[in-house]
Structure 1
Amino acid sequence: MAAIKTSLPRRQFDVVVVGAGGAGMRCSLQLAEAGLSVAVLSKVFPTRSHTVAAQGGVSAALGNMSEDHWYWHMYDTVKGSDWLGDQDAIEFMCREAPHAVYELEHFGMPFDRNPDGTIYQRPFGGHTANHGEKPVQRACAAADRTGHAMLHTLYQRNVAARTNFFVEWMALDLLRNEEGDVLGVTALEMETGEIYVLEAKRTVLATGGAGRIWAASTNAFINTGDGLGMAARAGIPLQDMEFWQFHPTGVAGAGVLITEGVRGEGGILLNKDGERFMERYAPNLKDLAPRDFVSRSMDQEIKEGRGCGPDGSYVVLKLDHLGAETINKRLPSIREIAIKFANVDPIKDPIPVVPTIHYQMGGIPTNYYGQVTTLDAEGNTQIVKNLYAVGECAATNVHGANRLGTNSLLDLIVFGRAAGNHIVESRPDNEHAHQDIPEWSIEQSMDRVNRLESRTSGQRSQEVAEKIRQTMQAHCGVFRTLDLLKKGEELIEGLVPEVDEIYFQDKSKIFNTARVEALEVANMIEVARATTKSAANRTESRGAHALNDYPERDDENWLKHSVWFSEGSTLRYKPVQMQPISAKSIAPQPRTF
């Protein structure tokens, strides 16, 4: 056995980036253009990463369509986060936004244009002018395929920069030394079934979200929380995992996303009585209130018997009044999705929609340079040496308890670039050699895989995965109660032994998807454990965490981040950063729209 472990093939790079979505490729581009040797691992071809599914836009206070200012963007983001966002990171993101978007434009990203040639911008939920006075047009859009355009633009630039892509590779575990420094990853090449040690002076996790731990999700099947599982197993905490965004408009029965850009273009939500019900819940912003607000309002309408359809289980999104020309020009993919998945043509009929799990606000804790952080024994924040996280898998703390639409694509490019710059400035290529990786670190990873490979009976991975999804769906939804959450926590912890007993019959090496699925379930359970534990212990309602037992936000006791450690499923807490870098601090206030 020892001979097998020590004979693993090895490759060495200055930086290994795990994930080829918008964040990973924006980071790798910065690194490759600076002359570093960069490996980017991806379970799928880079342009099939989940960023390709983002539709509505990327936010930046350009002021092309209406007066705007970065501080108004910051105000909206802090308010949208329900004051759980760190104001230094939010200021950094909103200040950098115009530069990041213009940079993408210069890379060749095909934004829609105004008649004067400037980038077209549409309104989006929660984005306002002058501290909430009225909606503002801030979402820079490429029709309703903005993520698609971004991902292809970044891939082309990376190819030109000679980034090394490892396509259809799955990272397995972080490799650390006795001091806790990260020295690379173990990774599975799906084509051959071989496992490699990829040595790196810096490692970047950019693995995206984990929405597939729910039964109804807008997420791709690849979104299984791989980076979060890797971090949790390595003793690195996960932060704010109780906060998951339910997107208001997933296609009823299918979960496929209908972009908020539909409402930005003038689409409206109606109940069975034909009432535009959001006027009752959010009289100022109406259908363009933040997503947590709209999702709860929709759920309330359905619960109170005003839902549409034979069983009253959804509301409808009406956009036929926009006209065929606008729909075909600004929302062509949405029309295609509605026809294929809802069997309706939105030029003629409304689309049936329900709130659907969409985005994780929490993740691997980082600062705004992307450096991963943890808590020491005294509760002080410490940097995990050589490790970065960017994108949806990272808790950079800009989204807090609820993310504003279009801030996700902005998060990818701002912090992907920031992490890349921070790594370049540390000049890993000037370091003389890679540090020796302790044999025990590699053995831990290989032992985990070997136990899975050698098992001849036990649980089937998809059956266990389905139990996780159904438990999360039933016990961790739009509206929560302590009883539901505690029961969900208990059930998820009860599934841990089943995950440890997963086996698969087909032991072949080449493109064995059963092996990949089994490895993914080990990551899913860590995310589910973090989510249920964190949610069951936050006794307030804030942003996406709506707890019936405690319906009010409690700033006195809960203006703090949850920090969850896998070992013993323990929780600790750290304060929210209320002081921006240079701007005026935005004090907590009631969140009305």
Structure 2
Amino acid sequence: MAAVKKSLPRRRFDVVVVGAGGAGMRCSLQLANAGLSVAVLSKVFPTRSHTVAAQGGVSASLGNMSEDDWYWHMYDTVKGSDWLGDQDAIEFMCREAPSAVYELEHFGMPFDRNPDGTIYQRPFGGHTANFGEKPVQRACAAADRTGHAMLHTLYQRNVAARTQFFVEWMALDLLRNEAGDVLGVTALEMETGEIYVLEAKTTVLATGGAGRIWAASTNAFINTGDGLGMAARAGIPLQDMEFWQFHPTGVAGAGVLITEGVRGEGGILLNKDGERFMERYAPTLKDLAPRDFVSRSMDQEIKEGRGCGPNGNYVLLKLDHLGADVINKRLPSIREIAIKFGNVDPIKEPIPVVPTIHYQMGGIPTNYNGQVMAPKDGENQVVNGLYAIGECAAVSVHGANRLGTNSLLDLIVFGRAAGNHIVDSHPERQHSHQPVPESSIDYSLDRVDTLEKRTGGEKTQDVGNAIREAMQHHCGVFRTIDLLEKGVTAIEDIAQRAANISFKDKSKVFNTARIEALEVTNMIEVARATTRSAAARTESRGAHALDDHPERDDVNWLRHTLWYSEGSRLDYKPVQMQPLSVESFPPKARTF
């Protein structure tokens, strides 16, 4: 065994980026343009990363369609986060938004245009003018394929910059020395089944979300929380994992996303009586209230017997009144999705929709430069050599609830910020890589080897389905402490089963059974973090809505949760209430 471990092939880079979505490729572009040797690992071809599924837009206070200001954007984001977002990071993101979007435009991203040639912007939920006075048009859109346009634009720029892509590779574990510095990753090449040591002076996690731990999800099958699992196994805490966004409009029975841009263009939600019910819940913003608010309102309508369909288990999204021209120009993909997955043509009839898990607000804790932060010796300190960006990171700009279109903005702003910070640290001037301890490599190899050699045990699919069913039942739109505590027990029981997974096919080349088994080991870490963190938070805030604790509790719970895998231990840290250069927004009740 020792000889096999020593013969592992090794590659060395200035930077290894794990994940080729919007965040990963925006970061790698900065690095490659600066002349650094950079490797980007991706389980799928880069343009198949999940950013491609984002539809509605990317937020920036350009003011092309109506008066706007970055300070209003900041207020909306703080309020949308239910005051759990860090105000220094939120200010940074909202200030940087216009330049980040104009940069994309100069890269060649095909935004829709106004008659005067400026970027088209549509309204989106929770985005307002003059501190909540009225909706504002802030979402810069490329029809309903904004993420698709962004991802292809960034990939083309990376190709021009000669970024080195490792396509169909899966990162396995972080490599750390005794001081806790991150020195690279172990990774599996799917084509050959070989495991490599990829040494790096800097490692960037950009692995996206983990929405596949739920049964009904808008997420791609690749969204299994790989970066979160890697961080958790390396002893790094996961932050605010109790907060998961249910998107109001997933196609009923299919979970496929119907963008909030439909409501931005004028679509409305109806119950079985044909009532526009959001006027009762949010008199000012109506259907464009933040997502957590709309999802709970929809769920309430269904629970009180006003749902549609033979089982009364969905509501309707009406957009036929917009007209065929608007739908075909601004929402062509939505029409296609509705026909294929909902069996309705939205030009003629409404789409059946239901709240569906969509986005994780929590993740690996970082500062606004993308550096991973973790408590050490009683202080919050940088984890040397490690960055995290995008949905797998908790900066935290989204807090307890993310505003629509702030996700694509998060990718480009913090992807660029991390890239710039790494370039400024000049890894190319560090003449040698630090030696990687054999014990760190052995840990990863032993984990895979144990899985390889097991001949009997749990089937991967059975354990994966058990995770999804438990999360769907115990961590829904509305929660109770009793339900969550039972969820903790259920998930810990499933974790024991996950430790005993086996698969029959031991072949090396493109063995998807091996990949799926490794993904489940990441999914269970995310599920443990979510249920344990949620069961401990005895308040309702943003996406975490407890029936038995319906009010927000700023006295006891205006703080971030930190979950550690070892012992499923919880710790907490304060929310950063002080912005970088402006006055803070003190907490107040959220009304819309």
Give the structure 1 partner of residue 278 of structure 2: 278
SS in 1 for 2:263: helix
CA distance in 2, matches of 1:496, 1:314: 33
Give the structure 2 partner of residue 124 of structure 1: 124
1:42 aligns with 2:52: no
CA distance in 1, matches of 2:496, 2:247: 32
Give the structure 1 partner of residue 562 of structure 2: 563
CA distance in 1, matches of 2:102, 2:131: 24
SS in 2 for 1:547: coil
For 1:64-75, list aligned pairs within 5 A: 64-75=64-75
What's the CA shift for 1:215? 0.2
Give the structure 1 partner of residue 170 of structure 2: 170
For 1:153-302, list aligned pairs within 5 A: 153-302=153-302
Give the structure 2 partner of residue 5 of structure 1: 5
CA distance in 2, matches of 1:585, 1:359: 26
Relative to the length of structure 1, the TM-score reads 1.00
What's the CA shift for 1:584? 1.1
Q: CA RMSD in A?
A: 0.3
Q: Counterpart of 1:537 in structure 2: which amino acid?
A: A
Offset from partner CA, 1:103-157 (integer Å, 9 cap, x none): 0000000000000000000000000000000000000000000000000000000
Q: Counterpart of 1:493 in structure 2: which amino acid?
A: E
CA distance in 1, matches of 2:207, 2:358: 15
Give the structure 2 partner of residue 403 of structure 1: 402
Q: Percent identity?
A: 84
SS in 2 for 1:492: helix
What's the CA shift for 1:158? 0.1
SS in 2 for 1:486: helix
Give the structure 1 partner of residue 438 of structure 2: 439
What's the CA shift for 1:376? 1.9
SS in 2 for 1:269: strand
Give the structure 1 partner of residue 336 of structure 2: 336
SS in 2 for 1:199: strand
For structure 1, the residue ranges without an aligned partner over 5 or more in a row are: none
CA distance in 1, matches of 2:31, 2:207: 18
CA distance in 1, matches of 2:566, 2:366: 20
SS in 1 for 2:64: coil
Offset from partner CA, 1:572-593 (integer Å, 9 cap, x none): 0000000000011001011000
Offset from partner CA, 1:339-366 (integer Å, 9 cap, x none): 0000000000000000000000000000
Give the structure 2 partner of residue 464 of structure 1: 463
Give the structure 1 partner of residue 523 of structure 2: 524
Give the structure 1 partner of residue 55 of structure 2: 55
1:390 aligns with 2:389: yes
CA distance in 2, matches of 1:237, 1:23: 21
Give the structure 2 partner of residue 493 of structure 1: 492
For 1:347-426, list aligned pairs within 5 A: 347-378=347-378, 380-426=379-425
Give the structure 2 partner of residue 508 of structure 1: 507
CA distance in 2, matches of 1:490, 1:562: 19
SS in 1 for 2:279: helix
What's the CA shift for 1:377? 4.0
SS in 1 for 2:341: helix
CA distance in 1, matches of 2:372, 2:289: 32
Offset from partner CA, 1:36-94 (integer Å, 9 cap, x none): 00000000000000000000000000000000000000000000000000000000000
CA distance in 2, matches of 1:583, 1:95: 11
CA distance in 1, matches of 2:173, 2:185: 6
CA distance in 2, matches of 1:325, 1:9: 57
Q: Counterpart of 1:400 in structure 2: which amino acid?
A: G
Relative to the length of structure 2, the TM-score reads 1.00
Offset from partner CA, 1:9-40 (integer Å, 9 cap, x none): 00000000000000000000000000000000
Count of equivalent residues = 592
Q: Counterpart of 1:309 in structure 2: which amino acid?
A: G
SS in 1 for 2:204: strand
Q: Counterpart of 2:67 in structure 1: which amino acid?
A: E
Give the structure 2 partner of residue 15 of structure 1: 15
What's the CA shift for 1:528? 0.2
What's the CA shift for 1:496? 1.4
Offset from partner CA, 1:403-435 (integer Å, 9 cap, x none): 000000000000000000000000000001001
Offset from partner CA, 1:269-312 (integer Å, 9 cap, x none): 00000000000000000000000000000000000000000010
Offset from partner CA, 1:337-396 (integer Å, 9 cap, x none): 000000000000000000000000000000000000101242x21110000000000001
